[in-house]
Amino acid sequence: MSDDVFSDPDGTREEILAATYRCLRDEGYADLTINAIGEEFEKSPSLVYRHYDSKDDLVIACLGYMLERFERQLVDEAITDPRGRLERFIEWASSDDIPAERRQFLSTLVELRTRAVYDEAYRCYFTRSDEVFVRYVSDMIQAGIDQGRFQECEPDGVAETLVTLLHGAMNRRPTHEGEAWLGDVRDELEAYLEARVYSDSTEGASESDENDRSQL
C-alpha cells in the first residue's frame, strides 16, 4: 500500500481524509479530536462536521479510502514476477529501514487495530483489510503455481500465515524495545518460503517489472 496515497488529494473529500491521515500519523488516535482534524483541514473546518458525525467516522473513512486505493491498483494487473512481488511485499512490511513518518503511522495503526476488540466498525474494517492482503498474497502464490515457478501448495493457507506473521511483526515493533529479532524473522520466513513455496528453479530469480515496482 503506497505511503504517499495522500500526497496529492483531489477534491474536498480527499482533502479532509488527507488531513485526518496527517493528524493520525502525527498525534496518534487517543488524543485526536474532530476539532484538530478541522483545523488541519485549513480550507473550512466546518465542512468536516458537515460530512462526518464523529472522529471514528472520519478515521474509518480514512482507512477505507487507503485500502480502496490499494485495491484499485490491483485490478487487471498481471502478475508477471510472483516471487519478486512477494519479496517486495515482505520487504515493505518488515524492513527495519523505514521513514520516520511511516513508522509513526504504523504505531497509530496498532492503536487503531485495538479499537476493533470492542468496536464493531473497526473490527469490520480490519477484517476486510486482512482479507484484501490475504487475497493479494494468495493471488501471487496461485500465479506462481500456474506459471510453474512455485510448488503445489495451499495459496490461502500460506497467505493467511504470511499475513498473520507480518501482522505480528508490525504489532511487536512499536511495543518491544529494539528490533534485532526482526532480521531473524525475515530469515526464517525466507527459509519457510524456500521449503514450502518456491521451486528450486526460481531460486535467486527476482527480476522486477514496472507494474510490481509502482504498486508498493
Q: Which residues contact a copy of itself (rule: CB under 8 A)? A: 28, 30, 107, 110-111, 113-114, 116-118, 122-124, 126-127, 130, 134, 154, 156-158, 160-161, 164-169, 171-172, 174-178, 181, 184-185, 187-189, 191-192, 195-196
Alpha-carbon distance of 98 to 100, in angstroms, equals: 6
CB proximity list for 57: less than 8 A, separation 6 or greater:
none
> CB of 198: closest distance to a copy of itself in angstroms?
12
Query: Is the distance from CB of 185 to CB of 138 less than 8 angstroms?
Result: no
Instruction: Find, among 72, 74, 66, the residue nearest to 25 by Cα.
Output: 66
Residue listed under C-alpha cell 487503531: 112
> CB of 10: closest distance to a copy of itself in angstroms?
32
Containing 182, the helix (H) or strand (E) segment is helix 180-196
> CB of 162: closest distance to a copy of itself in angstroms?
9
- Taking the least distance from each CB to a copy of itself, the nearer of 4 and 184 is 184
> CB of 9: closest distance to a copy of itself in angstroms?
27
- Taking the least distance from each CB to a copy of itself, the nearer of 77 and 154 is 154
Alpha-carbon distance of 16 to 18, in angstroms, equals: 5
Q: Which three cell numbers stand for residue 74?
A: 490491483
Alpha-carbon distance of 43 to 212, in angstroms, equals: 36
> CB of 49: closest distance to a copy of itself in angstroms?
26
- Taking the least distance from each CB to a copy of itself, the nearer of 36 and 116 is 116
Radius of gyration of the chain from its Cα atoms, rounded to whole angstroms:
19
- Taking the least distance from each CB to a copy of itself, the nearer of 16 and 109 is 109
Q: Which three cell numbers stand for residue 148?
A: 510453474
- Taking the least distance from each CB to a copy of itself, the nearer of 4 and 31 is 31
